[in-house]
Amino acid sequence: MSARPLALSSRIPARVAHAGLLWPSLGVILAFMVAPIAIMLTYSFLVPGAYGGVEWTFSTAAYEQILFERDFLDDSLTFTPDYLIIVARSLLQATVATLLCLVISVPTAYYIATRPDRVKNIWLFLITIPYWVNLLIRTIALLFVLRDDGPINSALIDVGVIGQPLALSYNGFAISLGLIYSFLPFMVLPLYSAFERFDFRLLEAAYDLYASRRVAFFRIVLPVMRPGLIAGSLLVFIPSVGSYLAPDILGGGKTLMIGNLIGTQFQAARNWPFGAALSMILLTITLIVLFWLARRAAQQQMN
């Protein structure tokens, strides 16, 4: 469906006039996204200043630092996996969060999409309610729930299921939980709209052609819903990889993720080029994931 373009002025050709409608948002993106990334890219090739900031000397030291440790005395480089582990942990946490969000969201989205319109809207409204509260407050609230003297542990101890409080907070588990909780709606909503567009007669056709429930789900439902699954996964994965709040608060700063590492470099460590280099790595990871998905989608189209 294409709406007929509105004629803004009789003298300006419609195409030019309508391109003008884009300029405000293009301006914002240029000023606040492209420019900062350019600055970060530049900084990542400079030398850190003594009290933060940068000195304008070209250096690849920031990138070397990710993989190698420079010896104080003889300036030699030795391999160290410390930062790689943090990057790997971030990727793992984000992948786990994305997969769990998928598993939780598919039935939820299916349920909502198959309700009558009125009920549907109530559910969608409920799904978005947490977004009325600031993420920081919600994350801290989650910490209170998980703490050693929080309601979960106290209840379990009172009932006598456990003697010692379970280590629910300040670890990878808490971070995962925080990520899932924060980004779940980003998965539910695209899946919901994919289910809503899904033609359920395709399922009848599959059963009619002797497919079992399980086979129909994997061979018909999932492939047809692919765009929704990819959109939801990206919306969860990308902010999860770089997430700052959940690991900081729920991980207690002990289990670092790349977002926290970057944050530290710009604050306490005062190593802006290193922080900038890590940011570039994060950006590259994101872009690789995006390009990989885009290429797979293109290949799907070709077949």
Partner 1 sequence: MQRAIKHPDPRPRAESNIVPMAGSDPVRHPNSVAAEVRNLRKTYNAGTPHAHEALKDVDLSIRANEFFTLLGPSGCGKTTLLRILGGFEMLTSGTCRIFGEDVSRLPPEARPVNTVFQQYALFPHMTVRRNIAFGLEMLGKPRAEVESTVERMLDLVHMTDYADRRPDTMSGGQRQRVALARALAPQPKLLLLDEPLSALDLKLRQKMRLELKSLQRETGITFIFVTHDQEEALAMSDRVAVISNGHLQQVGTPEDIYEQPQSRFVADFIGESNLIEAKVAGVTGGEASLDIEGFGKVHAPVAERVEDGQKVWLSIRPERLVLGSGDGQERAKVTDRTYLGNAVEYHLHVGEHALTARSPRGGLRGRQDFAPGDVVSVGFEPGSIKVLLS
Residue that has been written with the tokens 């189209």 in this structure: 301
* Helix, strand, coil percentages, rounded to 5, for the chain: 70, 5, 25
One of 207, 217, 244, 266 touching partner 1 (CB under 8 A): 207
210 binds partner 1 (CB under 8 A): yes
132 binds partner 1 (CB under 8 A): no
Nearer to partner 1, 111 or 207 (CB): 207
The Cα–Cα gap between 189 and 192 comes to: 5
The Cα–Cα gap between 32 and 138 comes to: 27
Task: Specify whether the CB–CB gap between 232 and 101 falls below 8 A.
Answer: yes
CB atoms near residue 124 (< 10 Å)? 16
Nearer to partner 1, 220 or 276 (CB): 220
One of 97, 187, 220, 231 touching partner 1 (CB under 8 A): 220
Q: Which amino acid is at 219?
A: R
297 binds partner 1 (CB under 8 A): no
211 binds partner 1 (CB under 8 A): yes
Could you give the count of Cα atoms lying within 13 Å of 80 in the half-sphere of its Cβ? 14
Nearest to 110 by CA among 100, 95, 123, 96: 123
202 binds partner 1 (CB under 8 A): yes
One of 79, 201, 254, 298 touching partner 1 (CB under 8 A): 201
Q: How far is the CB of 58 from partner 1 (least distance, A)?
A: 50
Region near partner 1 per CB under 8 A, out of 15-23, 104-112, 113-121, 215-223? 215-223
One of 55, 71, 82, 204 touching partner 1 (CB under 8 A): 204
The Cα–Cα gap between 146 and 130 comes to: 18
How would you class 164 by CB atoms within 10 Å of its CB: exposed for 0-12, middle for 13-18, buried for 19 or more? exposed
Region near partner 1 per CB under 8 A, out of 27-35, 147-155, 156-164, 223-231? 223-231
Region near partner 1 per CB under 8 A, out of 3-11, 115-123, 217-225, 264-272? 217-225
| Residues of the shown chain interacting with partner 1 in the complex, contacts defined by CB under 8 A | 199, 201-202, 204-215, 220, 223-224, 226, 300, 303
